[in-house]
Amino acid sequence: MLTNATASSWRWQRSKYKLSNRQIDIFGAAARLMFSLWWDRVRSINSSAHRERRAKWLVKTLLDLGPTFIKIGQALSTRGDLLPVEYVRELGRLQDKVPEFSATEAIALIESELNNSIHALFRDFDRFPIAAASLGQVHKARLHTGEDVVVKVQRPGLERLFNLDFQALYQLVLFCQRFFPRSRQYNLDEIYHEFRDLIYQEINYLQEGKNADRFRENFASNSRVVVPKVYWRYTTEKVLTLDYCPGIKIDDRSTLESCGIDLKELNQVGICCYLKQLLIDGFFQVDPHPGNMAVTTEGNIIFYDFGMMAEINTLNKQEMTRSFFAVLRKDTDEVVDTLLSMGLIERGSDMVPVRTLVQFLLDRFREKPIDFQELTEIKEELLVMFDRQPFRLPAQMTFILKALGTLDGLARTLDCNYNLITCARPFVKSIALSKGRGNLAIELTRQAQAFIKTRFDRPSAAEVLIQRLEARLERGELQVRVRSPESDRALKRIHLAIKSLMYACLTGFTLLSGAILLTGPYSSWAVVAFGLSGLACLSLIRSLFVLAVREKLDKLAQK
């Protein structure tokens, strides 16, 4: 286990835990992490052993902060392309080895919820949990009718903790919207409410049972997907009883290979499964981290957790279908149009930088992982987009992107050279041959058939080059540049430096005024002056931060 601490010793399990204390714990931990990383960078400390120590401290801190932050760590644990391997390895231990709470508490809750003694409910009940997660733990048991089951028991005090967390989080949202105007374009308030609803759904095991039944029905005809059966007689809001379905952890490459399971085929099954969830069912698992999935010895995928599920409306499903097949066809215009329709991009007067970025990504990274070093080839367009910030994040798309990001990290763990196009072929083929009814099914079939047709009618390299040149001429992308990007960037830096200087003067002036007023008969006005000084100081820090980011980007552009 990660730690020998018992549940009662965790900070978030304290009986008297106020909002102010919770805020101090959260923001104090965040500040310490940011300072530590900054200090390591200043001192140029980057050894593997040091990163491992930092990662262990981070895992311990996330455990101490509780379930909300454990879930964040679980999501990050699959992003080996973004985090150092030491962090990924340590965070991976949060997936299914979170410290358990006592069996006495678990049994007491089961007996209370099901209104009977544990011996009357189950023939056998294992007091030692087979898994412990952020929101609960799982005990193996056997019914009096002979079926082997698992009993998922919710952690004590979760709802009270979530109430505190979401109060603190909402204050952070309000702070960002007030002091960082650009954050308003990301719909933080809507994302907050969507995330809040999902989390409260997840701690309602009756809803999770309904989700499992719906998910099983969606994949009833797919023998490669296993969904445990729900035993409703032994299920309440805080207790969930399911079929016992043992399997190999989905990211355990060595065990999977020793069992003769083809990892490329496993990736294919997983990708096609998620494409069906997103593009056909419109009902998908938001959190596909390795602790929520396993593999049978036959190579079938078992899904365990159905607490955090989300739905996609029909309009978004159609746009996602168009976008998916446009990516397969390398159709830049169609991809940009669908991103605009889904609200991921805001339409501007000049869409050239966005189209250039999308075209570059489709040309270079459609069939391989993104290499951020190669993005320096379009650094001018990236700098323009940094200024204009055309990208948006609708609340529903936040969770779709989270699921896709986690799934991508998992797929790369199984096969570092995995190819989305290759993995998606069985799905595209099945759609092209289907005779579904309804607008969405017709659209899916049409897009799949069009994609297959383009594979046979592929133009030559010269024709593609001419078509792209014509398209750029029509869009006005080929133009004579009369402005110097270097001069523009220098002027923007000067502008930011002048703003910082003004804020520094204002901070010093109000601070000095407050000190003078404090020594005279106008001490009440001194408080006002100190308050204005604090606000000016915050503006100064923000302005200096933006200036530092701007200078780093400009240096990158000059390389």
Record the tokens describing residue 439, joined without a space. 């607008």
User: Residue 204's CB: how many other CB atoms inside 10 A?
Assistant: 17
Measured between alpha carbons, how far is 92 from 490 in angstroms, rounded to an integer?
44
Catalytic residue positions, numbered: 287
Measured between alpha carbons, how far is 101 from 2 in angstroms, rounded to an integer?
13
Tokens 């991921």 belong to residue: 344
Do residues 214 and 207 make contact, with C-beta atoms less than 8 angstroms apart?
no
Angle of helix 395-414 relative to helix 67-76, nearest 10 degrees, comes to: 50
Phi-psi region of 259 (alpha: psi -120 to 50; beta: other; left: phi over 0): alpha
Give Cβ neighbours of residue 322 (< 8 Å, ≥ 6 apart): 334, 337, 338, 443, 447
Do residues 417 and 408 make contact, with C-beta atoms less than 8 angstroms apart?
no
Do residues 516 and 530 make contact, with C-beta atoms less than 8 angstroms apart?
no
The helix or strand, by DSSP H or E, that contains position 383, with its residue range, turns out to be: helix 379-388
User: Residue 211's CB: how many other CB atoms inside 10 A?
Assistant: 20
Provide φ and ψ at 416, rounded to 5°: -65, -15
Do residues 160 and 16 make contact, with C-beta atoms less than 8 angstroms apart?
no
User: Residue 71's CB: how many other CB atoms inside 10 A?
Assistant: 20
Provide φ and ψ at 545, rounded to 5°: -65, -45
User: Residue 63's CB: how many other CB atoms inside 10 A?
Assistant: 23
Q: Please tell me the number of Cα atoms within 13 Å of 432 on its side-chain side.
A: 14
